[in-house]
Amino acid sequence: MIAPVVAVLAALRERSPSITLLAASGGTPPMFGAASPFAQWPGAGAPGQGGPLAGNASVPAQPRVPAASAGALRWSQVTAEGPVDVPTLRAALPSLEPALLRCAALARSSNPNVIGRITVRGVVLRDGRVAQLQAAEADLPDAAAIACSLDATADLKLPAKPEGTTRFSAQLSFAPN
């Protein structure tokens, strides 16, 4: 039973260096000891030896991702049909940048040179929230980054427009620095 868990954890760690292992209360599982395949990871010591398995380690609020690895992103081809106009939409999109850069950094953890575009389509509701988000077109080769980007875009807040909903689309481009 432990071997498949170790294999999955090793694969996850290889895919995303920001994954932190925490020991369950009641001691360190044997697979996390000095002979563990995880022993070479920074901070993966047993409780009392420092690192995330030490005592009451806390889980960080955000993944630890170096800012330089995130690359750059750019919005283009922004369209809007309804009461929310393109300038208002363009003005709101930069608020998504921190979350979208985390998505890009996660994609770059497995492929540092990943580039690509996602065309996001959705509806701005009367209360300013966005809904019905979809990746209408995407050539970004990382499905997790696409899903992450859509989740981040769901946090977009726009002014309420009681006169109706607005259909919008915007192309997001990811590129290395």
Residue-level pLDDT at 151: 95
Strand locations in 4-138 (E):
72-81, 116-124, 130-138
* Residue 44, pLDDT score: 43
- The span from the CA of 150 to the CA of 105, in Å, is 15
- Res. 143: pLDDT tops 60: yes
Q: State mean pLDDT over 135-142.
A: 89
Per-residue pLDDT at 153: 95
Set out the domains of the chain in order of their start, with CATH numbers. Answer: 1-62 (no CATH), 67-175 (3.30.2420)
Residue 106, pLDDT above cutoff 50 = yes
Tell me what the mean pLDDT of segment 130-135 comes to.
96
Residue 13 has what pLDDT?
Answer: 52
Beginning with the edge strand found earlier in the chain, give each strand of the sheet holding 72-81 in spatial order.
72-81, 166-175, 116-124, 130-138
- Average pLDDT along the chain: 73
